[in-house]
Chains A and B, each alone.
Chain A
Amino acid sequence: MHLWPLAVYLVIVVMLVVAMLGLSFVLGQRHHNRATGTPYESGILSQGSARVRLSAKFYLVAMFFVIFDLEAVFIFAWAIAVRETGWTGYAEAMGFIAVLLATLVYLWRVGALDWRQGSRRVVA
């Protein structure tokens, strides 16, 4: 089989990790100071609880960001082939962008971009 380098590689990786962890376990120093267990060993004291409640709107905006960001990738793909695809490609890319704009108009109209507390149109 021509896959044997992969197997050798796997074995070496495991051995390396075991060696590194094992050596530091055997040879390393042990500290048990006041700050050892705290989140920041540099000494900064953490404040308050980590379980902060964030407004669901942040997630909504984050999702819009991811979606529109991802769509931009398709435009990049078109951009590197813009000469080869010609006017047909141009028309199709325009169609794609038009749909994106339509989405933006829709989001704006249903109030998904509204940041005010009182506007509950999306959830209603």
Chain B
Amino acid sequence: MHLACILPEVILTLAGVLIMLVDPLLPRTASRKPTGWFSVLAMVAAFAASAWQLHLAPGTAYYGVVQTDAFSVFFHLLICGTVLVALLAAIDSVRPEAHDMGEFFALILLGTVGMLLMTSAVELLLVFIGLEISSISTYILAGFRRRSGKSIEASIKYFLLGSFATAFFLYGIALTFGATGTTRIAAIAAALPHTTTPILAWTAVGLILIGLGFKVSAAPFHVWTPDVYEGAPSPVVALMSTAPKAAAFAVLLRIFYGAYPSIQQHWWSLFWVLAAVSMTLGNLAALRQQSVKRMLAYSSIAHAGYLLVAFTSFSLQGIAAASFYALCYVAMNVGIFAVISHVGGYDDHLWSITDYRGLAYRSPVLCGAMAFFLLSLIGIPFTGGFFAKFYVFSAALQQGMFGLAIIGLINSGIAAFYYLRLLTALYSKPAQGSPVLAVPRMSITLGLAILLSASATLLLGVVPRSSLDLAQRGAGTLFQTGHPAQAAVQVVNDAPSQ
């Protein structure tokens, strides 16, 4: 049944359209909170539908453009869960009385449809459409604080650079089509070893990597990240620093391991450089930040770098480690931004590290949660961040990537410094004479959001087995579909280079 393959997407589309229809019919003064609750409900339904897809026989639908397998289900669950937490955090942080809130929730739902499509698409044009659906809604969401110049600036910067990067991606698809005559990922893998114009494929790989490197904010395509994260409303940053990135990583895995495994010797060095530069540049720049959101923006660049380390190890463990890292990263990042969106306020009146001084004395629970997420970002044992780094680096070491692993470990040390700087600020006494800025009471939905993300981070650090198993199953399907090409890799490697 075709529809079963895209059931989560269908649910979210219907819910999003319904909100768009109902929202303008409500009286202007009516609270928009019910639309928020409805979108939470839809997201839970999409999560359940994705989990149900796990029991379907893996297969393609709609003339082979979407594929349901363990890999797509893993990322479906990851994205739906993340967006669910972001929605819960947003319901009370964003002014629920504003009459454009229905739009806010509908955009999140429709953007999620794009992300889900990205992870299950096995046809490059559908990947592109999914990428656009998710990007366009995040462009709008970034500028949602319309009275704030910074928010508008963030939105426009994100939009201009984002569409520029998407053009690279599209050009890469066109060149791939030129080299192989198809845009189906499996067909590309089969046709690539016999292409008469390999140079087109090599260029295409570079262009696609630029386009997606922008989306995952890997250096040197990261310049938009700090400005956009600083300007966009924090509940939106909680969403857009996590789910779309995970979707883009899924696309990277699917394209590079699914379509281009036979020219792996041409792209792995690109990933090597991208990973090393992202880690180093992200961490060094984060050291110098005063704004908490900017610091976390650079930290997310560094985390994209750690994740890319896993790409360079051309192995099943590498794919599984990358997927698992994405899961841990979104769990802790959506959590810390949920805390920030409450503590900092919708208008970001608390923004610098000094503003966060003494948070433990004002709101011990929130502060505890934030400290926990920071520890996970550092990679302390018993948190998801620890196992994520562990698997990534062990996958890299298994393939003999000693240089990259050493760079990564040094970077983890540097990263600990700025996370700990924020952590000590949280627990030190507020400066004498500084105005005590009260933190408003935490609402139930925000508490739920933080509880969900904190328990996910903890469980991933204590009992990672079940999620790691699913990640490995997903990696298995990805390596399986690339299997004929996998055989071709051997042939290419054995053949004398022309």
Proximity bits, A78-99, B CB within 8 Å = 1, else 0: 0000000000000000000001
Contacts of B23 in A (CB 8 A): 106
Q: Which of A102, A109, A110 contacts B17 (CB 8 A)?
A: A102
Interface residue A60 (Cβ < 8 Å from any Cβ of B): no
Chain B residues lying within 8 Å of A110, measured Cβ to Cβ, are: 24
Q: How large is the interface on A (under 10, 10 to 19, 20 to 34, 35 or more residues)?
A: under 10
CB neighbours (8 Å) of B17 from chain A are: 99, 102
CA of A109 to CA of B20, assembled, Å: 10
Compute how far the CA of A99 lies from the CA of B17 in the bound complex, rounded to whole angstroms. 7
Q: CB within 8 Å of A: which of B4-21? A: 17, 20-21
| Smallest CB gap from B103: residue in A | A110
CB of B57 within 8 Å of the partner chain: no
Smallest Cβ-Cβ distance to B106: which chain A residue: A106
A112: min CB distance to chain B, Å: 10
CB contacts under 8 Å to B, within A64-121, are 99, 102-103, 105-106, 109-110
How far in angstroms is the closest Cβ of chain A from B363?
34
Which label, helix, strand, loop or mixed, suits the secondary structure of the A interface?
Answer: helix
Which residues of chain A have C-beta atoms less than 8 A from B24's C-beta? 105-106, 109-110
Q: Is B25 an interface residue (CB 8 A)?
A: yes
A114 to B36, CA, bound (A): 27
A30 to B17: give the CA distance in the assembly, Å: 64
Cα-based distance from A110 to B23 in the complex (angstroms): 9
Q: Mark B23-48, 1 if CB is under 8 A from A, else 0.
A: 11100000000000000000000000
Distance in Å: Cβ of A90 to nearest Cβ of chain B: 15
* Complex: chain B residue closest to A106, CB-CB: B20
The answer for the CA separation of A61 and B163 in the assembled complex, in Å, is 22
In angstroms, how far is the closest chain B Cβ from the Cβ of A84?
12
Q: How far is the CB of A25 from chain B (nearest CB, A)?
A: 37
B390 CB to closest chain A CB, in angstroms?
Answer: 45
- Which chain A positions have C-beta within 8 A of B20? 102-103, 106
How many angstroms from the CA of A102 to the CA of B23 in the assembled complex? Answer: 12
Interface centre among B17, B20, B23 (most CB of A within 10 A): B20
Bound-complex Cα distance A110 to B25 (A): 9
B interface footprint on A28-39 (CB within 8 Å = 1, 0 otherwise): 000000000000
Docked complex: B383-414 residues within 8 A CB-CB of A: none
Chain B residues lying within 8 Å of A106, measured Cβ to Cβ, are 20-21, 23-24
Q: How far is the CA of A92 from the CA of B319 in the complex (A)?
A: 36
Distance from B498 Cβ to chain A, minimum over Cβ atoms (Å): 15
CA distance A99 to B16 in the complex (A): 11
Which of B55-99 touch A at CB < 8 Å?
none
- Please give the distance in Å from A120's CB to the nearest CB on chain B: 12
Q: With the chains together, A99 CA to B24 CA distance in Å? A: 15
Query: Which residues of chain B are near A102, meaning CB under 8 Å?
Result: 17, 20-21
Nearest CB to that of A107 among chain B residues? B24
- Residue of B17, B23, B24, B25 ringed by the most chain A CB atoms within 10 A: B24
How far in angstroms is the closest Cβ of chain A from B474?
29
Find the B residue at minimum CB distance from A112.
Answer: B24
Residues of A within 8 A of B25 (CB): 109
- Most chain B beta-carbon neighbours within 10 Å: one of A102, A103, A106, A109: A106
A105–B17 CA distance with the chains assembled, in angstroms: 11
From residue B277, how far is it (CB to closest CB) to chain A in Å? 35
- Separation of A105 and B25 alpha carbons in the complex (Å): 10
Beta-carbon contacts under 8 Å, B160-213 to A? none
A103 vs B23: C-alpha distance in the bound complex, in angstroms?
A: 12
A interface with B by C-beta (< 8 Å): 99, 102-103, 105-106, 109-110
Known contacts A99-B17, A105-B24, A106-B24; 11 additional CB pairs below 8 A are A102-B17, A102-B20, A102-B21, A103-B20, A105-B21, A106-B20, A106-B21, A106-B23, A109-B24, A109-B25, A110-B24
Residue pairs across A and B with Cβ atoms less than 8 A apart, 8 shown, are: A102-B20, A102-B21, A103-B20, A105-B21, A106-B21, A106-B23, A109-B25, A110-B24
Top 8 closest A-B pairs, CB basis? A109-B24, A106-B20, A110-B24, A102-B17, A102-B21, A106-B24, A99-B17, A105-B21
